[in-house]
Amino acid sequence: MAEIALTAMAHSYEKEPAGPEDYAIRQLDHVWEKGGAYALLGPSGCGKSTMLNIISGLLAPSEGQVLFDGKPVNHLSPRERNIAQVFQFPVVYDSMTVFDNLAFPLRNSGLPKAKIRERVNEIAEVLELEPLLHRKARNLTADEKQKVSMGRGLVREDVSAILFDEPLTVIDPQLKWKLRRKLKQIHEQFDITMIYVTHDQLEASTFADRIAVMYEGRIVQFGTPTELFENPNHTFVGFFIGSPGMNLIDVTRCPGGVQFGNTRFPLSEGVMKRLAETGSDNLRLGIRPEFIELTEPNPDSCPAIVEDVEDLGTYQILTAQLEGQGLKVRLSEDIQVERKQVVHLHFPARWLKLYVDEFLVEASP
Ligand SMILES: Nc1ncnc2c1ncn2[C@@H]1O[C@H](COP(=O)(O)OP(=O)(O)OP(=O)(O)O)[C@@H](O)[C@H]1O
C-alpha cells in the first residue's frame, strides 16, 4: 500500500500542446493517501482514464511527477509499481478454472502453495465465488467473469493500490449494488488504497470516503460526499452532484448583495468583501433544490409560479418560475401544490452560494 502523489503533473496527447484545451489533464498537484477509498467522478472525456493510466504506469505523463511514498515512479512499469487494475470489461483466462485465475497473480509473485490456497479461498468467500472455483472461466456469465476479474485485483496483499475503471458497467443493476457494498467491505477489511473511476455519483458516494470530481482535465473538488453536496466549490460540482442538480442563477451586483430582476439576495460581509476584490461580471448564485423552502408571504419571501410538479414517490420536485427563472424545489410528498399556483419561496442565507467565474466565493475572515 502506498501514498500516491502527483506533483505539477499534466498530460497532453498532442506533441506540441498550444494551450490548456490541448491537455487531457491540466497541471495539478494531488495526493491519494495510503489506505483511502477514493472515487474519481466526472463526465465522459474529463480525463478519468488518463489519470488512472498515469497512476498505474500504462501512460507516462507529459509533465510532472508521480510519486509512490515519496519516490518518483515515472519510469516504472505497472508491474514494477505493484498496481492492480480492474477494467470495465473482464480480463480472465477462459481456459483456466476460477481458482487458477485467482491464483495466477500470486503464483507469479512466487508465494508458497498453502498461502496461495488460503488467500484464494479468502477472496472467493468475500466475492461469493466459492461454488465456482473449479469451473472453467469460459463457462461463466459476464457478471461472474467480472467478479473473477475483481478477485484477481484483490488477491495480492502486497499491492500499492487497486484501481477500478468503471468496473460495474457489465454487471446487472441488482448485483451492482451488492458488489459496491462488497468492495467497501473489502476496503474496510484489508485497508487497501483504492481509486474507483465512475461517472455515476451514486456509485461514487456509496463506495468512496472522498470523491475527486473531474471536469475538463482538472480536479475541481476533492471532498466527502457531504462536502460536495453542501458546499460545492465549482458550479460544475453543484450541477453534477444531486438529482436534480443545484439551481444556478445569473446575477448582478447590488448594494449589500446580488440581484436578478427585482429580486435581491443579501450576502454576508465576508462574501461581499471577496466580491469587491474581483472585477468579473460572471456571477452566479447557487442553491440546491433541497434547501429552498415554501413559506407564508413575508418581506423575505419571493413569489413564484408553479410550472410543474413531478411526483417521485417519497418526495416531489417542483419547477417554479421566479421572474422568468426556472427553479427546482424539492418538497416532501405531503405538501399540496398545483400547477399555476403562486407559492412563496424562501432562500436561507446559509445555503446561498455565490460563484465568480464558476468558482465558489468563500467569505473572507
Ligand atoms: N489515446 C488517446 N489519444 C488522443 N486523445 C485521447 C486518447 N485517450 C483519451 N484522449 C482524449 O483525452 C481526453 C480525456 O479522455 P479520458 O478517456 O481520459 O476521459 P474519461 O473521463 O475517462 O472519459 P470516458 O468516461 O469516456 O472514458 C478526451 O478528450 C479524449 O478524447
Q: How far apart are CA 98 and CA 155, in angstroms?
A: 13
More confident residue, 215 or 191: 215
Residue found under cell 427563472: 325
Ligand 1 centre distance from Cα of residue 320 (Å) = 38
Ligand 1 centre distance from Cα of residue 243 (Å) = 26
Would you state the pLDDT for residue 364?
Answer: 67
Domain with CATH 3.40.50.300 in the chain: 4-239
Q: Is the ipTM of this complex over 0.90?
A: yes
Superfamily the domain 4-239 falls into: P-loop containing nucleotide triphosphate hydrolases (3.40.50.300)
More confident residue, 39 or 299: 39
* CATH 3.60.15.10 is held by the domain 243-360: no
Would you state the pLDDT for residue 357?
Answer: 96
pTM: 0.91
pLDDT at 365 over 70: no
Query: Around 330, how many Cα atoms within 13 Å sit in the side-chain half-sphere?
Result: 15
For atom 11 of ligand 1, which residue has the closest CA? 24
The set of residues, in sequence order, having a beta carbon less than 8 Å from that of 202 and lying 6+ positions away, is none
Domain with CATH 2.40.50.140 in the chain: 243-360
257 lines ligand 1 (CB under 6 A): no
More confident residue, 1 or 57: 57
Residue found under cell 453534477: 240
∠ CA 147-153-159, nearest 5°, is 160
Distances (CA, A) of 125 to 14, 43, 67, 105: 46, 34, 34, 18
Distances (CA, A) of 139 to 93, 121, 172, 205, 360: 11, 20, 18, 33, 52
Would you state the pLDDT for residue 109?
Answer: 82
Ligand 1 centre distance from Cα of residue 48 (Å) = 8
49 lines ligand 1 (CB under 6 A): yes
CB 342 within 8 A of CB 304: yes
Tell me the average pLDDT across 56-65. 96
More confident residue, 1 or 246: 246
Q: How far apart are CA 207 and CA 179, in angstroms?
A: 10
Ligand 1 centre distance from Cα of residue 22 (Å) = 12
163 lines ligand 1 (CB under 6 A): no
Mean per-residue pLDDT over the chain, rounded = 93
135 lines ligand 1 (CB under 6 A): no
Would you state the pLDDT for residue 215?
Answer: 96
**For 140-163, how does the pLDDT look when each residue is reduced to its tens digit (9 = 90+)?**
998 899 999 999 998 988 888 999
pLDDT at 181 over 90: no
pLDDT at 55 over 70: yes
